[in-house]
């Protein structure tokens, strides 16, 4: 093997490392989440393209939002000997995050559009009490 062939092999090796360790790959299926708050409501926008409604569960556990789900490949490709690009992640996921305020879980309104899920929760009203000390 001459020097140029060896350099080409090294170049291909590093290209394959980049391809399979690119930041998009290897992070798993993690849905992006935006949380917005107004005076009366908490808005949670979940990015879930390719996740069928029957494959996602969203729960409130105390002050935590928990998102469970599974993103499946809708196409069966058959025999694959070599991957050239692998940027789309499939599989199960779980995401947990603290809610920034108290909410009324039973009052949730949901919308689904273009691979996004919007949850709108009413916020619990805070009752202030003045405690007088005698």
CATH architecture of 3-73+87-122: Sandwich (2.60)
As beta bridge partners, residue 93 has 69
pLDDT mean by block of 10 residues, the chain; 134 residues? 72 58 53 93 94 93 92 81 78 90 93 95 87 88
Q: Domains of the chain: which residue ranges?
A: 3-73+87-122
Q: Where are the alpha helices (DSSP H) in the chain?
A: 3-21
Are the beta carbons of 120 and 108 closer than 8 angstroms?
yes
Q: What is the pTM of this model?
A: 0.70
* Cα separation of the two ends of the chain: 94
95: Cβ contacts below 8 Å, ≥ 6 apart: 30, 31, 33, 66, 67
Token digits of residue 103: 């909410």
Token digits of residue 36: 């917005």
């Amino acid at each position: 093997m001459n020097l140029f062939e060896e350099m080409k092999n090294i170049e291909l090796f590093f290209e394959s490392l980049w391809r399979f360790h690119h930041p998009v790959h290897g992070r798993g299926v993690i849905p992006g989440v935006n949380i917005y708050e107004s005076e009366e409501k908490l808005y949670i926008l979940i990015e879930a393209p390719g996740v069928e409604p029957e494959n996602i569960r969203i729960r409130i556990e105390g002050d935590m939002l928990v998102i469970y789900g599974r993103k499946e490949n809708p196409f069966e490709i058959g025999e694959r000997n070599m991957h050239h690009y692998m940027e789309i992640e499939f599989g199960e996921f779980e995401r947990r995050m603290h809610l920034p305020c108290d909410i009324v879980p039973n009052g949730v309104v949901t919308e689904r559009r273009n691979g996004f899920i919007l949850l709108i929760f009413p916020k619990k009203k805070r009752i202030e009490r003045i405690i007088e000390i005698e």
